[in-house]
Amino acid sequence: MLGPVPLDGATLPQTRLDLSVMEVGRGPDGRRSWTERALGLRDSLGPFRLAYLEALLRVADWQASAEESRGSGGA
């Protein structure tokens, strides 16, 4: 269990964490694990294209965080 967590003047309720998605292979509900999904992306895109897309996502996240900290909010 996690929480409750105070965040920016609000309190997020207590939440049960489900880490089963991190397990290898398919879960009891038939859903693919995180590992299986990541390997599928690597296999379909290739390691270099996947790394490029991750870099784009990280830079966009850094820029959004910088804008947020300056108070512009990006909107």
Contact between 33 and 25 under an 8 Å Cβ cutoff? The reply is yes
- Average pLDDT, rounded, for the chain: 86
What per-residue confidence (pLDDT) applies to 75? 54
Q: Enter the pTM of the model.
A: 0.55
Q: Say if residue 72's pLDDT is above 70.
A: no
Q: Say if residue 60's pLDDT is above 90.
A: yes
Contact between 33 and 26 under an 8 Å Cβ cutoff? The reply is yes
In the chain, where are the structural domains located? Answer: 46-75
Question: For 19-39, what is the mean pLDDT?
Answer: 79
